[in-house]
Amino acid sequence: MAADTSRNTERRPTFDPIRALAIEAIEQIEEGQQTDDAIRTVTNGKQLRGLDHRFIQQLVNGTTKMRRRLDVEINAYLTKPASQLHPKVRQILRLGFYQLAFTDRVPAAAAVSESVNLARRFTDEKLARLVNAVMRARLREPEKVRFANKDSDPVTYLADYYSYPDYFARYCHKEFGLENAERLLAAYNQPPHITYRVNFIKAKPDEVTHVLQESEVEFSFGRYLPEFIHIHQGGLPLEDQLLSSGKVFIQDESSGMPVRLLNPKPGGNVVDLTAAPGGKATYAAIRMRNKGRVTAIDKSPDRLKLVVENAERLGIKIIAPVVCDMNEFKAGQFDRVLLDPPCSGWGTAGKNADLRWTKTEDDILNLSRIQTKMIDRAAKLVKPGGVLVYSTCTIIRDENDQIVEEFLLRNTDFEIDPADQFFDKSVVNERGFVKTYPVVEGLDGSFCARLKRKLNP
């Protein structure tokens, strides 16, 4: 009997396993998984170099963010819509077009050949030829891609070109005008950066910056909160030396601004009504010099466990965790009350690639109803002369200004305590509210308002 030599003679297509993992993650995201979770799932157990992990993150985040625009471009070279393609082919073309249009270090030839290899790996030779033809057509005839006219149809142009759902493009156009909307939407498409908040309990800013400088890590200080340090490179530099040791905490500068607005004092009595994972509660405790009490409430035991773990790593002793729905929380009144309710998260669209495809207009309507109930409940916990800070990580008025203005109409014993006593007017509007955007100092989009309960209403 002749020996079976098929295993030796069969020619198997080569493919890049890193890009293959990216395809798997992109598919999971389209099925509803969050971006970070999808990347964790596909890379779990894989021995990847840091460079490979960063490449996967770039490909997955970028392709997910730019999904709508990529489909517009792909459609220019097809006889039928991209939505009708084999699902794997659609994702491979999206990934390939992303590399052609939005990466500097991937040669066009490599983007084409690796896309074809992926098609051979995941589908068949016929579909691989289709991928090859479409990718090469994109290189030969880039002028075939057409977008809506920005003057006659600005919303479609913004949504297609910058890759957002219609309702958000429409909102930004109405709220900011075409030019400013373009700047904002483009900013959300930039690679995100991380920010380290110096923990005064364990380190001084000079000590942290010295370590960063010695390791040649590029950084800049926060404009509004100088203990926040913006890192100008990927990854988590000096993770063991700075993060694991508790000398710094990852938190966007915009997320620290509500705590500065709260202005908690050493020895004070503070409650954070939606505390997990603990960024604001721990920052409040640090500003209080670890003196007094910060009651940290969250209805999820697992999420509240994160608050406790973060506090322990940071050396904070004054956080009192309470597992409870804030609407059912019963206690006396507090000097300072912080409410950071669930929101659409549209201020963090630059860091959460899948957000733009999972949040809907109905979500915003439902969230605004929840926020209204929560702020009314929070108000009952503020002692006369005390302060309530309402904050979100969204830029949608219905979740921000509107919630506060309607609250003030219902609660005449509260008044706005203008934020310009804490921040310069580049981030404070005419009503005294703080609003941040990625086009200003590269911060996440956010909102916060300081409301004071009158002593004698």
Q: Render pLDDT for 204-250 as a digit per residue (tens, 0 to 9).
A: 999 999 999 999 999 999 999 999 999 998 888 999 999 999 999 99
| CB 407 within 8 Å of CB 274 | no
> Which of 1, 129, 145, 158 is CA-nearest to residue 72?
145
> Which of 76, 19, 56, 148 is CA-nearest to residue 353?
56
**What is the band of 80 on the pLDDT scale with cuts at 50, 70, 90?**
confident
pLDDT in tens, 383-394: 999 999 999 999
List, in order of start, the domains of the chain with CATH numbers: 9-144 (1.10.940.10), 154-188 (no CATH), 194-250 (3.30.70.1170), 253-453 (3.40.50.150)
pTM of the model: 0.92
pLDDT in tens, 271-295: 999 999 999 999 999 999 999 999 9
Over 70: is that where the pLDDT of 8 sits? Answer: no
Q: What pLDDT does 83 receive?
A: 85
| CB 145 within 8 Å of CB 70 | no
Q: What pLDDT does 334 receive?
A: 97
Q: Determine the Cα–Cα distance for residues 452 and 366; give it in Å rounded to an integer.
A: 27
> Which of 231, 254, 226 is CA-nearest to residue 242?
231
Q: What pLDDT does 3 receive?
A: 40
| CB 101 within 8 Å of CB 73 | yes
pLDDT in tens, 433-446: 999 999 988 999 99
pLDDT in tens, 134-174: 999 999 999 999 999 999 999 999 999 999 999 999 999 99
Task: Report the mean per-residue pLDDT for the chain.
Answer: 94
Q: Determine the Cα–Cα distance for residues 167 and 155; give it in Å rounded to an integer.
A: 9
Burial class of residue 19 (count of CB atoms within 10 Å of its CB; 0-12, 13-18, 19+): buried
| CB 270 within 8 Å of CB 264 | yes
Q: Which amino acid is at 59?
A: L
Q: What pLDDT does 10 receive?
A: 46
Q: How many CB atoms lie within 10 A of CB 449?
A: 29
| CB 138 within 8 Å of CB 77 | yes
Q: What pLDDT does 13 receive?
A: 55
Over 70: is that where the pLDDT of 2 sits? Answer: no
Q: What pLDDT does 292 receive?
A: 97
Supply the residues annotated as catalytic: 393
Pull the structure tokens for residue 163: 């890759």
For the chain, what is the HEC assignment? CCCCCHHHHCCCCCCCHHHHHHHHHHHHHHCCCCHHHHHHHHHCCCCCCHHHHHHHHHHHHHHHHCHHHHHHHHHCCCCCCHHHCCHHHHHHHHHHHHHHHHCCCCCHHHHHHHHHHHHHHHCCHHHHHHHHHHHHHHHHCHHHCCCCCCCCCHHHHHHHHHCCCHHHHHHHHHHHHHHHHHHHHHHHCCCCCEEEEECCCCCCHHHHHHHHHHCCCCEEECCCCCCEEEECCCCCCCHHHHHHCCCEEECCHHHHHHHHHHCCCCCEEEEECCCCCCHHHHHHHHHCCCCEEEEEEECCHHHHHHHHHHHHHHCCCCEEEEECCHHHCCCCCEEEEEECCCCCCHHHCCCCCCHHHHCCHHHHHHHHHHHHHHHHHHHCCEEEEEEEEEEECCCCHHHCHHHHHHHHHHCCCEEECCHHHCCCCCCECCCCCEEECCCCCCCCCEEEEEEEECCCC
Cβ-proximal residues to 396 (8 Å cutoff; 6+ apart), any chain: 171, 343, 344, 346, 364
pLDDT in tens, 292-338: 999 999 999 999 999 999 999 999 999 999 999 999 998 899 999 99
